[in-house]
């Protein structure tokens, strides 16, 4: 059984189609080093979410086309996979519960573990600024938080599980430049600690990524740093 230890991802000749004859990814080749920060950009329909969905095993990639730490994706046990691969969705689901409970999500975590995850996600400062800190109710669906703050809570929630890989789908709506910067700084600070693959809708969110992957009609059109592109 495959294990995820470092969080390195190797994608080789990855083809994918949802429907027969309608290929949406064409022979993708991409090597993602452990602890690196990769951004994925591309116009709508270019295949960004599809790639993330395949990494998450929501759909089945062709055998051997995706490996993590050398192990074919389908050989990794489900419990281990869920522990090691964290997802920050576009519109994170928040419980009508405290900030602490939203980070712990039913796991038995000490206050120190919750706080460490929040600090790593750059969520600590805004949480302690709430009137009851970590005990502040976040409201139904996190209604009282900005989209960026919800994503920071979701990053903290994912990091609390000590993943080796963190996949993020940047929120599209109502992102002001301040919250965008907050998410950008949080992701950049994770470099060397966890492998980050982030879909971005604005280049600025992933300005500091080690590499930016530009998808175009299911192919890698460009690959490089922000200054190279
Ligand atoms: P966006 O920026 O709009 O989120 P994206 O880059 O994430 O776009 P994908 O959602 O990966 O693009 O879609 C890639 C292609 O696959 C598109 O042509 C889309 O219509 C198609 N597609 C996506 N999901 C499905 C599905 N569940 N069934 C069939 N086709 C799909
Ligand atoms: Mg998408």
The verdict on residue 229 lying in a domain is no
* Helix H or strand E segment including 147: helix 147-159
Q: What angle do CA 172, 177, 178 make, to 5 degrees?
A: 115
Structural domain contains residue 4:
no
- Measured in Å, residue 12 CA sits from the centre of ligand 2 at 21
Instruction: Tell me whether residue 159 is in a domain.
Output: yes
Confidence (pLDDT) at 182: 82
Does some domain include residue 154? yes
* Maximum alpha-carbon separation in the chain: 55
Tell me, using a 6 A CB cutoff, whether residue 25 lines ligand 1.
no
- What confidence score (pLDDT) does residue 142 get? 63
- pLDDT at position 91, please? 83
Residue 1 falls within a domain, yes or no? no
If pLDDT is split at 50, 70 and 90, which confidence band does 92 have? confident
Number of domains in the chain: 1
For residue 167, is it within any domain? Answer: yes
121: closest CA among 107, 138, 106, 102? 102
Q: Would 3 be classed as within a structural domain? A: no
Query: What's the rounded mean pLDDT across residues 10-35?
Result: 97
Rounded Cα–Cα distance for residues 17 and 8 (Å): 25
Per-residue burial over 100-122, b if 16 or more Cβ lie within 10 Å, else e, is bbbbbeeeebeeeebbbbbebbb
Helix (H, G, I), strand (E, B) or coil at 27: strand
Instruction: Give, for 29, the enclosing helix (H) or strand (E).
Output: strand 22-32
User: Measured between alpha carbons, how far is residue 9 from residues 36, 46, 174 in Å?
Assistant: 10, 20, 32
Q: Which two tokens stand for residue 125?
A: 């400062």
Which two tokens mark 10? Answer: 């190797």
The ligand 1 atom nearest the CA atom of 19:
29
CA of 106 to the centre of ligand 2 (A): 29
Ligand 1 atom showing the smallest separation from residue 201 Cα = 2
CB of 45 within 6 A of ligand 1: the answer is: yes
205 located within any domain: yes
Residue 143: HSE in the Cβ half-sphere, 13 Å Cα cutoff = 3
| Distance (Å) from CA 45 to ligand 1 centroid | 5
Is the confidence at residue 198, as pLDDT, over 70?
yes
CATH number reported for the structural domain that contains residue 178 in this entry: 3.40.50.300
Tokens of residue 135, six digits: 């005990």
ipTM of the complex as predicted: 0.99
Domain residues for 148?
Answer: 9-224
Question: What is the mean pLDDT of the segment spanning 140-146?
Answer: 73
Average pLDDT across the chain, whole number: 92
């Amino acid at each position: 059984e495959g294990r995820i230890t470092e969080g390195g991802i190797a994608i080789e000749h990855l083809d994918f189609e949802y429907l027969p004859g309608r290929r949406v990814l064409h022979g993708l080749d991409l090597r993602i080093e452990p602890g690196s920060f990769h951004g994925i950009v591309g116009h709508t329909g270019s295949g960004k979410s599809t790639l993330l969905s395949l990494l998450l095993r929501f759909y089945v990639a062709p055998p051997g086309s995706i490996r993590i730490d050398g192990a074919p994706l389908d050989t990794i046990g489900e419990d281990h996979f869920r522990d090691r691969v964290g997802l920050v969705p576009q519109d994170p689901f928040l419980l009508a519960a405290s900030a602490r409970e939203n980070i712990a999500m039913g796991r038995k975590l000490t206050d120190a573990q919750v706080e460490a995850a929040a600090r790593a996600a750059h969520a600590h400062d805004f949480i302690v600024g709430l009137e009851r800190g970590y005990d502040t109710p976040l409201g139904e669906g996190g209604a009282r938080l900005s989209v960026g703050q919800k994503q920071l809570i979701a990053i903290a929630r994912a990091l609390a599980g000590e993943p080796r890989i963190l996949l993020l789908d940047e929120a599209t709506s109502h992102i002001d430049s301040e919250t965008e910067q907050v998410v950008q700084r949080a992701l950049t600070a994770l470099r060397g600690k966890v492998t980050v693959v982030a879909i971005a809708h604005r280049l600025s969110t992933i300005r500091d990524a080690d590499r930016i992957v530009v998808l175009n009609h299911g192919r890698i059109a460009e690959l490089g740093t922000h200054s190279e592109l």
